[in-house]
Structure 1
C-alpha cells in the first residue's frame, strides 16, 4: 500500500504531479478569463465616458454596475488561483514526506480549499472532476458541494450602489461638467432634428449596452 493508501502503478509523487498539472492548467484558464474581462472593462470604460459626455447617466450607471460585478468576479478568480496553489503545495509536501500516514485526509484546509473551488462557476466543472480523483485516491475526504448562494456573498444593494458611484467617480471625473446642456437649450428651429438624433442615439446606446453586458456575462460564467 502506498502513502495515500491506494494501490496504483505510478508513484505518489507522479500521481500528485499529474493532479497539479491539471490544476495548473485550470489556473492558466482562469488567467485567460481574467485578462479577457479586463480587456472588456477597458472598452466599457470608454463607453461610460462617451455616455457621460452626452449626459446619458442611466447608461453610465448600468455599465458601471457591470464593471463592479466583473471586478468581483475577477477577485473570486484570483482567490481560486490562490486555493489551487495552496492545494498543490500541500499535496507535494505530503507526497514527499516519509512519515505521512493519511495526514492529507485530515487536512481541513485542503478540503475547504477544494470545497471553495468546486462551488465557483468559473472553475466548478474541472474542479469537481479533480475532486473525485483526489477522493478516489484517498488524498481528501469527499467534498460536500454547497449551493452557490452559500459560497458567494449576498448582495447588499446599498453597498452595490456605493461601489457603482465609486466607479463612476473614477471614470467620469471632469466629464460630467463638460456634458451638453439639456435639449431645452437648443435653438427652436433645431428641436425636431435634435429629438430624432437623440432617439437614434438612445437606441444605439441601448444596443451597445446589451452587447457589452452579454460579453461580460459570458466572460464571468
Structure 2
C-alpha cells in the first residue's frame, strides 16, 4: 500500500526520508519569509508613526493597510509551518508503523515455527526425560557421597565408633549378668523350700541333684542366647 502512495523505485522508508527533507527545507524557507515580513512590519509601524507626526494622514492610512496585510501574511506563515511540521510527523509515524508491522510479521513467523516444533507431545517427552535425568543425577550424587565418605573416613571416627559400640555392649553385658544372677537365685530358693516341706527321714530320690543342676544350666544357656 505504501508503495502505491510513494511510487516505485524506492522503499517507503527512503521516500519518507526524502519527503521529510523537502518539508524541512520548506519550513526553513517559510521562516526566512516570516522573518522578512516581521522586519517589514516594524518598518511600516515606524513609518506610520513618522507620517502621523508630520501630519501626513493619507500616507499613514495607506501604510496602516499594508501593516494589517503584512501581519495577516505572518499569521499565515505560522499556520503553514505548523501544518507542514504536522505532515512530517504523520509521515514519520507511518514509517514507524510500517517498521513495526514488519517486525511483528517476522516475530509471528518465528512463533509459528516454534509452536509447530514444540508440540504438546514433544513437551511431555522433554519433561519425562528431564525427570529421568534428574533422578539419575540424584542417584549418582548419593553414590559419590558414599564413596567420598569411605575415602575420607578418619581414624578418629573409627575409634569413636568402636567406643560407642563398646559402651553399648558393656551396658548389654551388665543387663545379662543381672538376669543370670536373678535366674540362678530363684531355683535355689525353690529347692530349699521343697526340701523343707518333705518329711524328714525320707530318702531323696536318686539323681535329684543332677536334674537340678541340668535345669539351672539350661536356664542360664537360654538367658545367654536372649
Regarding TM over 0.5, the answer is no
TM normalised by structure 2 equals 0.41
* Structure whose CA Rg is larger: 2
Higher helix share: 2
